[in-house]
Amino acid sequence: MSRTGVLPKQMLRELCATGCIIGVDERYLNPASIDLPLADEAYRLESIFLPLRGEKVRDLLPLVGATPHNFSNPLEVGVPYLIRIAGEWRLPSMIYGYANPKSSTGRNGFFCRTVADDVDMYDALIGPGWSGEMWVLARPDYFPVLVHPGLAVSQMRLFDGKSFLDDLHTELAIGRHGLIFDEKGRKLSFGEMRRHADSFLLTLRVGEMMGWECRGTRKVLDLDKCNFYDLEDFFKPIRISDRKHILRKGSFYILTTPEHIMVPPNLSAELRAIDPRLGEYRSHAAGYIDPGWGYGSDGKACGRPITLEVIPQEDMLVRDGQAIARIRYEYMKEVPETLYDMAASNYTDQRAARLSKHFKKT
């Protein structure tokens, strides 16, 4: 086990119990992340922004034309909002954090970035001993969205040091459990996995029912409602007869990898930003993958495909097997007391491009 890494659920609970995190209860704790519940304070903005070092987010509200937002009204398409995150945060001196949208947020084309007092980066808490207020910059890009206090649209991972797997430990992890499998459940060797900087490349599955496209709608999606909406009111299925398809600029796509990903209990994984040399697009929104994903109850599940949220910046022809995303593995500080496949989740049976939990299953 690595001496540094991602803090597991039991250590997140300890931070809450000792007053480092106040006002965030047990229901927001995940195997290796903490959900960030929305407070009851929100503003409509003229633009997004970043604080500079030494600035508090709240003090910048006049700078971006902030006006109070009533939660009974949906968030408008294309309009940025700032919503305060509940709780009080006073992290220990050696702890830092990174945030990302939750999977069910990203699958709806709902842009979310976290900003924090005295931090001049999105989605980051930089120590030592950070304390202050956190906020979510939120913007629906394809249909209006209704949010509520207590709802979490983003999550935070906390670390006590970097612990990315080097080549040796990656090869050992492959030998012990496997990390990436093909569609037939065959474990890929280290030599078969295409390395790109600190990550491995994943490819796109193109063929038959390859995923979903959203061109936008005026229908409102309430993020508190699960298994409620008809798929084709918001998305249309992509059915093709060959192994190529054109992704259109201005549309939002839910697609999938042919590779099946396993995250063993002592590791976590993150989808990294794509290199622009591979194309001008975003390939994911959420990005974080919990320990135990695709592991099953005994490590014999041979992984599970990853759903991708793809936003092309230009019309883009894609073909089956084309590189589309990057994944990086890192160590957990400890094995979490609860693993993803053993916890209640909407995506443990994911075998293809899956829309969010808000839509009726077909």
Q: Are residues 58 and 150 in the same domain?
A: yes
Same domain, 103 and 15: yes
Q: Write down which residue in 108, 126, 159 finishes a domain.
A: 159
In the listed set 101, 127, 159, which residue is the last one of a domain according to the structure? 159
Decide which of 159, 176, 203 is a domain's last residue.
Answer: 159
pLDDT in tens, 211-223: 999 999 999 999 9
Which of 245, 257, 258 is closest to 312 using CA atoms?
A: 245
Q: Is residue 300 part of a domain?
A: yes
Asked if residue 82 is part of any domain, the answer here is yes
63 and 150: one domain?
yes
Same domain, 94 and 151: yes
Give the C-alpha separation, 29 to 8, whole Å: 9
Q: Domain with 56 in it: what CATH number?
A: 2.70.40.10
- Pair 17, 85 in one domain: yes
Other Cβ atoms closer than 10 A to 74: 15
244 strand-pairing partners = 319
pLDDT tens sequence for the chain (362 residues): 557 999 999 999 999 999 999 999 999 999 999 999 999 999 999 999 999 999 999 999 999 999 999 999 999 999 999 999 999 999 998 999 999 999 999 999 999 999 999 999 999 987 768 999 999 999 999 999 999 999 999 999 999 988 889 899 999 999 999 999 999 999 999 999 998 888 999 999 998 899 999 999 999 999 999 999 999 999 999 999 899 999 999 999 999 999 999 999 999 999 998 888 889 999 998 789 999 999 998 888 999 999 999 999 999 999 999 999 999 999 999 999 999 998 767 788 888 899 999 999 86
Is the backbone peptide bond immediately before 140 cis, with ω within 30 degrees of 0? no
Q: Is 356 inside any structural domain?
A: no
Q: Are residues 152 and 197 in the same domain?
A: no
d(CA 11, CA 31): 10
Dist CA 140 CA 323 (whole Å): 27
Looking at the structure, tell me whether residues 155 and 175 fall in a common domain.
no
- Is residue 359 in some structural domain? no
Are residues 209 and 154 both part of a single domain?
no
What total number of domains does the chain contain? 2
pLDDT digits (tens, 9 = 90+) for 23-80: 999 999 999 999 999 999 999 999 999 999 999 999 999 999 999 999 999 999 999 9
The CB density around residue 203, as the number of other CB atoms within 10 Å, is: 17
Shared domain for 153 and 191, answered yes or no, is no
- CB distance 320 to 204 below 8 Å: yes
Residue 350: inside a domain, yes or no? no
Integer CA distances (angstroms), 358 to 107, 138, 361, in order: 10, 18, 9
Same domain, yes or no, for 171 and 153? no
The domain of 194 spans 167-342
Flag whether 362 is in a domain: no
The answer to whether position 153 is within a domain reads yes
Residue 4 is assigned to a structural domain of this protein: no
- For residue 239, what are its two tokens? 């059915």
Together in a domain, 146 and 82: yes
Q: Are residues 39 and 119 in the same domain?
A: yes
- Type of residue at 155: Q
d(C-alpha 355, C-alpha 333), whole Å: 32
